[in-house]
């Protein structure tokens, strides 16, 4: 959530910053509601003070045995006026909150200007693109040939976008998750195994609601949501808490299944593992002192890069432009891996700094020099398995139709060097 004080003090700056994300923000209406709320609150405080003073006068009159009926009647009238006023305050606050909750975060000044993914900037690349002396087959054909997964039966059991991992495929998926987690734990992260269901407040806290409600799976009877990412429960792990400055930064790594309806997404990059309704991911979440959050941002990117380097998968890092930033992000890097079959790039990780946007919504603060302030929250995929599997299968396939296992992953598969 944006700081209302910032909107109040720099309305044009906020309007232009949001415009760079493609948002025409109703700044005038926000300021109007904010002014009305403050005026009503002041009027309410004055009436409460008046009521308190009258109550003291009534007490004096009663002690002196004097008639207080007239002044009591005026107190009742004042109470009724206060009820009306407080109702007006609540309605005004609700209207203001609804608008503020619908507004995305402001982009950081270092974010490239642009309207879409075409304007993202390649920051760096790593690894040589595979030079195959044979025609590669795609991940789906190779995986089915090696008996690693079954999309058809997954669709029969549930529906499209719910794959089944079989035998060595299931073992490979589990090996990747363990490999990711160990990589993070060796670099100072604390592991969390979070619940897969969260309440509405948690979804609001990280910015999934109300903006992205149509992409979420909801259990209407219980008012719970299946998590789209472990970011939601792990960030809300410290919701409504005052953290110790000495403990920052707090770095967590969490494995979870992720659930996304992907409303309106079908028909775009949907073959095989490209777009799923249920998938596995290890998420990195960090709580940082604001002065050091952009150092942490780079650290998280490097953390995800380290995994791809160990798996010997070529990748590139992109700085997202203003028009391609997510709702809550102030700055974001995408990591993309190479698909030899498609001869293109697939996003496997987004690493974002949300600054204090989520912390305001979830009320996560810390004390610095005795003064409470909001932390900065960051997160990033470290990593998601679906598109990584695409690159792993396609980059490490052989002319014989086998799959070479990168040395770093072999210990997690009992020393197996190749799937044949």
Q: Are residues 378 and 415 in the same domain?
A: yes
Nearest to 383 by CA among 324, 315, 322, 323: 315
Unique residue bearing structure tokens 């998420």: 283
pLDDT score of 106 more than 50: yes
Residue among 288, 293, 339, 350 flagged as catalytic: 350
What is the percent of the chain where pLDDT is above 90? 85
229/355 same-domain check: yes
| Same domain as 67, residue 198 | no
Catalytic residue among 144, 241, 269, 347: 347
Residue 270: per-residue pLDDT: 59
Q: Looking at the domain assignment, is residue 314 inside a domain?
A: yes
Q: How confident is the model at residue 267 (pLDDT cuts 50, 70, 90)?
A: very low
Please say if 260 is a catalytic residue.
yes
Is 75 in the same domain as 165?
Answer: no
Whether 153 is a known active-site residue: answer no
Same domain, 83 and 128: no
User: Is 275 one of the annotated active-site residues of the chain?
Assistant: yes
Containing structural domain, residue 388: 117-419
CATH number, domain of 406, equals 3.30.930.10
Q: Which of 37, 251, 365, 387 is catalytic?
A: 387
Please report whether residue 112 resides in a domain. Answer: no
Quick check: is 406 in a domain? yes
| 310-369 confidence digits (pLDDT tens) | 999 999 999 999 999 999 999 999 999 999 998 999 999 999 999 999 999 999 999 998
350 is known as an active-site residue: yes
Tell me: do 122 and 72 sit in the same domain.
no
Report if residue 180 sits inside a domain.
yes
SS3 of residue 277 by DSSP: coil
- Taking only the tens place, the pLDDT of each residue in 66-76 is 887 777 777 78
- pTM score, whole prediction: 0.91
| pLDDT tens column, 17-36 | 999 999 999 999 999 999 99
Mean pLDDT calculated for residue range 142-158: 94
User: What was the pLDDT predicted at 79?
Assistant: 84
Predicted local confidence at residue 66, as pLDDT? 81
Higher pLDDT, 58 or 13: 13
Q: In what order do the strands lie in the sheet with 197-199?
A: 197-199, 224-226, 218-219
Question: What DSSP line would sit under 63-86, residue for residue?
Answer: HTT---HHHHHHHHHHHHHHHHHH
The predicted pLDDT at position 119 comes to: 97
Q: Do 131 and 90 have their domain in common?
A: no
Mean pLDDT, rounded, for 189-212: 96
333 domain-assigned? yes
Task: Give residue 216's pLDDT band: very low, low, confident or very high (50, 70, 90).
Answer: very high
Choosing from 37, 260, 299, 360, which is the catalytic residue? 260
Which CA distances in Å does 66 have to 55, 60, 346? 14, 9, 84
The total number of structural domains in the chain stands at 2
Confidence of residue 132 (pLDDT cuts 50, 70, 90): confident
Does residue 53 share a domain with residue 165?
A: no
Q: Ramachandran region of residue 355, left (φ > 0), alpha (ψ -120 to 50) or beta?
A: left
Domain with residue 24: its CATH number is 1.10.287.40
**387 and 324 share one domain:** yes
**Domain C-terminal end among 59, 76, 102:** 102
**Residue 216 sits in the same domain as residue 74:** no
275, 299, 360, 361: the catalytic one is 275
Residues 97 and 34 in one domain: yes
Among 102, 135, 170, the domain-final residue is 102
- 126 and 75 share a domain? no
Q: Span 304-310, mean pLDDT? A: 98
User: What value, to the nearest 5°, has the Cα angle with vertex 319 and ends 237 and 289?
Assistant: 35
Of 43, 71, 102, which residue is a domain's last?
Answer: 102
Asked if residue 109 belongs to a domain, the reply is no
Q: Is 107 among the domain residues?
A: no
Residue 279 domain-assigned (yes or no): yes
Determine if the peptide bond prior to 383 is cis (ω within 30°): yes
């Amino acid at each position: 959530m944006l700081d209302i004080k910032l909107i109040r003090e720099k309305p044009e700056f906020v309007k232009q910053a949001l415009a760079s994300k493609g948002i025409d923000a109703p700044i005038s209406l926000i300021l109007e509601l904010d002014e009305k709320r403050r005026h009503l609150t002041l009027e309410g405080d004055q009436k409460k003070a008046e009521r308190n003073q009258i109550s003291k006068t009534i007490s004096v009159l009663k002690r002196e045995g004097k008639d207080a009926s007239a002044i009591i009647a005026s107190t009742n009238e004042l109470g009724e006026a206060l009820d009306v006023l407080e109702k007006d305050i609540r309605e005004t606050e609700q209207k203001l909150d609804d608008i503020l909750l619908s507004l995305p975060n402001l982009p950081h000044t270092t974010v490239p200007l642009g309207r879409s993914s075409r304007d993202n900037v390649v920051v760096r690349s790593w690894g040589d693109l595979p030079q195959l002396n044979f025609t590669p087959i795609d991940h789906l054909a190779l995986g089915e040939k090696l008996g690693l997964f079954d999309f058809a039966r997954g669709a029969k059991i549930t529906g499209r976008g719910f794959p089944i991992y079989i035998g060595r495929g299931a073992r490979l998926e589990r090996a990747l998750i363990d490999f990711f987690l160990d990589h993070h734990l060796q670099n100072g992260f604390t592991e969390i195994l979070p619940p897969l269901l969260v309440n509405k407040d948690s979804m609001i806290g990280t910015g999934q609601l109300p903006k992205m409600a149509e992409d979420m799976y909801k259990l209407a009877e219980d008012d719970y949501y299946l998590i789209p990412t472990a970011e939601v429960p792990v960030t809300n792990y410290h919701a409504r808490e005052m953290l110790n400055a000495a403990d920052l930064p707090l770095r967590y790594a969490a494995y979870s299944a992720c659930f996304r309806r992907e409303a309106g997404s079908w028909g775009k990059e949907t073959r095989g593992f490209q777009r799923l309704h249920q998938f596995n991911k290890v998420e990195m979440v960090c709580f940082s002192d604001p002065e050091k959050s952009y150092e942490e941002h780079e650290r998280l990117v490097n953390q995800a890069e380290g995994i791809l380097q160990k798996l010997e998968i070529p990748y590139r890092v992109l700085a997202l432009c203003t028009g391609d930033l997510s709702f809550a992000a102030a700055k974001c890097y995408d990591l993309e891996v190479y698909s030899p079959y498609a001869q293109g790039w697939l996003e496997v990780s987004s690493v974002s700094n949300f600054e204090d946007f989520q912390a305001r919504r979830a009320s996560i603060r810390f004390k610095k020099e005795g003064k409470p302030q909001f932390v900065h929250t960051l997160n990033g995929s470290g990593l998601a398995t679906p598109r990584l599997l695409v690159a792993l299968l396609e980059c490490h396939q052989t002319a014989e139709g086998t799959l070479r296992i990168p040395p770093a992953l072999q210990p997690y598969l009992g020393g197996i060097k190749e799937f044949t």
